[in-house]
A = this chain, B = another copy of it.
Amino acid sequence: MIQSQAYQQIRVDGHILEARTLFENMRIGLAASAALLLTSHATAQTGNGLNLMPMPTSVRSGAGRLSVDPSFSIAVTGFKDAALERAIGRFVAELSRETGMSLKQKTAGSESPTLLIHAAHGRESVQRLGEDESYELVITESGAKLTAPSPLGVLYGLQTFLLLVETTADGFSVPAATIDDKPRFAWRGLLIDVGRHFIPLDILKRNVDGMAAVKMNVLHLHLYDNEGFRIESKRFPKLQEAGSDGLYYTQNEIREFVAYAHDRGIRVVPEFEMPGHNRSLFAGYPELASGPGPYRVDPGGVDAVMDPTRAETYKFIDEFIGEMAELFPDEYFHIGGDEVSGSQWNANPKIQAFMRSHGMKTNADLQAYFNQRLQKILSKHHKIMMGWDEVLHPDLPKTVVVQSWRGQQSLATAAQQGYRGLLSFGYYLDLMWPASQHYAVDPMSGAAASLNPEEKSRILGGEACMWSEWVTPENIDSRIWPRNAAIAERLWSSPDMQDTSSMYRRLDKISQRLEWLGLTHRSSLVLALHRMAGANDVSALRTLAEVVEPVKDYARWSSLKGVWDFRAPLNRLVDIAHPESEQARDFRDALETYTGSGYKDEAAEGKIRARLILWRDNDAKLHPVLEQSFLLKELGSLSEDLSTLASAGLLALDYLDKSMPSPNSWRAQQLALVESAKTPKANLLLMVADPVQLLIEASEGRKQEP
């Protein structure tokens, strides 16, 4: 691991704070926990800074603070419209909620307002990729001024202001500062798969609020997949009628939702996946498929693909896209194009004959032919085509945008060939990585790093992806947040932002703010624990739940018995346990402090010991609870492992405390237990196994100097 360090000085409230920024050229794909341990070790001495996420391009701290009290007022000069008024209204409402002061919106005639807002001109009626998103926020003791080319920048500046509000000994206030800010990438997206599990609009709305808070600007809706068709078509009503369980967005709902997102600076890019992942579409229109059917949105089922050889297919697509173009004003339409299985094409003699007569050798050639015709239809409806890596083909025009789920190499290749692209590899939220692992992924790293400037300019940004095989309305917030905020910072802020300690400190704060916005990423856990524990007390269960994480990457799939049943209840601990355990992270941090002090830091040791005692004693309390719930029975050995690990950790701590090397035989025995505790159980990982292992190993007696 190559490391270099930079120092950045930030003046806050008269004090010089030293913010040590650490550059890390971290290899993607390191095991999550190992990456986390190494990173947090290397950056343990990082100082405090402002609680901003994403961090602005430039922050110069000034002297003093601006008070935020009930006299708070706002004036607007320059461009004004109803949307800007609404934005200011939301800002005042949020400031009111977060301070508990019932502030009123005073926008007219303020002589010396607390906050002066000035936008030079209006926004585009349809938000455009690459529109100027910059803003400047100048805060002094006597007032703040937010200026931006358009209200888009004002939206971002208001979010920054909200993050700066602090509770102090003298009242609420924001530190004096001059902030110049604009995004590094123009495309900062979040994909939500509403096909596999339907997500109601109120939940999408609160996620849009969250995206706006972290300055993301694209919501990519994966509108259907084999398991469900989620958007009303009036021309082809069997799409939603046969293709869903009644759970879909009506056209009126989606229009209102798109306007809601636009108000908050978020583009809604729809995905109409073709020609694969189409089973729900064929349920109503089997004639579009390459195989005979019948098609139903049941678990399992054939891997069905559109028939690209029939004129009727393109007639359908033309009419359908035409209808959808009226609903989704964004210039970009995503057509999916990934994971097209060739089996139906191979098995259809007419398709084979078509390929032969057109000189096509591979199924990839056939898909390219399909995509070319698709692209022309989109173009007719004034839409620019996007697709996953697989759409990349020399026959497609250079306007096509490639979204890479395969990696930076694929993105770089596309850029070299003249295509624009964005990165999603490394940003798959469903893989349950820790935030630090996503944070280390940069669209410009790897193969992209050696592109020339023109090629680099074709890399538009990235998109976090929330695939929903194991996602429900209940757990979706906890899968997206707070980790998505780390990705948002990667896409907005300087690539120099590499300090994971600073990232986690600020992530905790933004996570808190996201709960104010109505997201339930923290609160949903406790409710679910009550469901699982029935009438029993949940405190012991919570202690266990807070130190486990769902298995990573695609490990959960391998535990499936039979086919994946998208209708199966998702109500076990693996479905709601946080992707990243804060308790385990805290414990690792304390352990690092203790180790770094040469085992002399008593506060850290006390914290470690208290936690280990809690965990050691937990199984005795939890065991009877587990016995009484069918949802919890599977957690028995996990709970025992936690107690076993904690007992071993306490003994190791005693050895260290007494500066007495632990016996080799004891250590070998304990390390074997640790190995066994590392095996996933009930699709969950015990996240304290690694730090306890470090403790046991350290008890051998190799002391580190403070």
Contacts and interface: CB of A to CB of B under 8 A. Distances in A.
A100 B570 contact: yes
A54 to B, nearest CB: 19
Contacts of A530: 512
Contact of A99 (B70, B99, B571): B571
A474 interface: yes
A166 B100 contact: no
Interface string A571-609: 100010000000000000000000000000000000000
Contacts of A77: none
A170 B630 contact: yes
A258 B513 CA distance: 33
Interface in A493-540: 509, 512, 515-516, 523, 527-528, 530-535
A633 B101 contact: no
Contacts of A167: 531-535, 628-631
A375 interface: no
Contacts of A131: none
Interface string A59-102: 00000000000100000000000000000000000000111111
A62 B60 CA distance: 73
B168 A531 contact: no
B534 A166 contact: yes
A171 interface: yes
Contacts of A101: 569, 571
A657 B568 CA distance: 54
A437 interface: no
Nearest to A105: B246
A538 to B, nearest CB: 10
A100 B528 contact: yes
Interface string A98-115: 111110100000000000
A675 interface: no
B630 A534 contact: no
A245 interface: yes
A315 interface: no
A602 to B, nearest CB: 15
Assembly stoichiometry (copies): 2
A15 interface: no
Contacts of A170: 630
A417 to B, nearest CB: 44
A472 interface: yes
Contacts of A528: 100
A51 interface: yes
Nearest to A571: B100
A361 interface: no
A569 B171 contact: no
Contact of A629 (B168, B516, B523, B630): B168
A627 interface: yes
A561 interface: no
Contacts of A533: 167
A534 B98 CA distance: 11
A282 to B, nearest CB: 22
A515 B527 contact: yes
Nearest to A630: B171
Contact of A531 (B100, B532, B534, B570): B100
Given A101-B569, A171-B630, A474-B97, A509 B531 contact: no
A169 interface: yes
A567 interface: yes
A518 to B, nearest CB: 10
Interface string A200-226: 000000000000000000000000000
A99 to B, nearest CB: 7
A522 to B, nearest CB: 9
B630 A169 contact: yes
B569 A99 contact: yes
Contacts of A569: 70, 99-102
A246 to B, nearest CB: 8
A477 to B, nearest CB: 13
A501 B592 CA distance: 48
Contacts of A534: 166-168
A528 B98 CA distance: 8
Interface in A652-706: none
Contacts of A527: 515-516
Which of A70, A104, A530, A628 lies at the interface centre, i.e. has the most chain B CB atoms within 10 A of its CB? Answer: A530
B567 A102 contact: yes
A535 B633 contact: no
Contacts of A99: 531, 569, 571
A571 B103 CA distance: 13
B102 A169 contact: no
A168 B530 CA distance: 12
Contacts of A512: 530
Contacts of A628: 167-169
Contacts of A633: 169
A3 to B, nearest CB: 29
Interface string A391-410: 00000000000000000000
B630 A98 contact: no
Contacts of A51: 535
A583 to B, nearest CB: 12
Nearest to A530: B512
Given A512-B530, A516-B527, A569-B70, A629 B169 contact: yes
A121 to B, nearest CB: 29
Nearest to A632: B167
Given A100-B472, A102-B569, 20 more contacts: A99-B531, A99-B571, A100-B474, A100-B528, A100-B531, A100-B575, A102-B567, A104-B245, A104-B246, A166-B535, A167-B532, A167-B534, A167-B631, A168-B629, A169-B627, A169-B629, A509-B535, A512-B530, A515-B527, A523-B523
Give the 9 A-B residue pairs with the shortest CB-CB distance, closest first. Answer: A100-B571, A167-B534, A101-B569, A167-B629, A171-B630, A100-B569, A523-B523, A512-B530, A169-B628
17 contacts: A51-B535, A70-B568, A99-B571, A100-B528, A100-B569, A102-B567, A102-B569, A166-B535, A167-B535, A167-B628, A167-B630, A169-B627, A169-B629, A169-B630, A169-B633, A516-B527, A523-B523
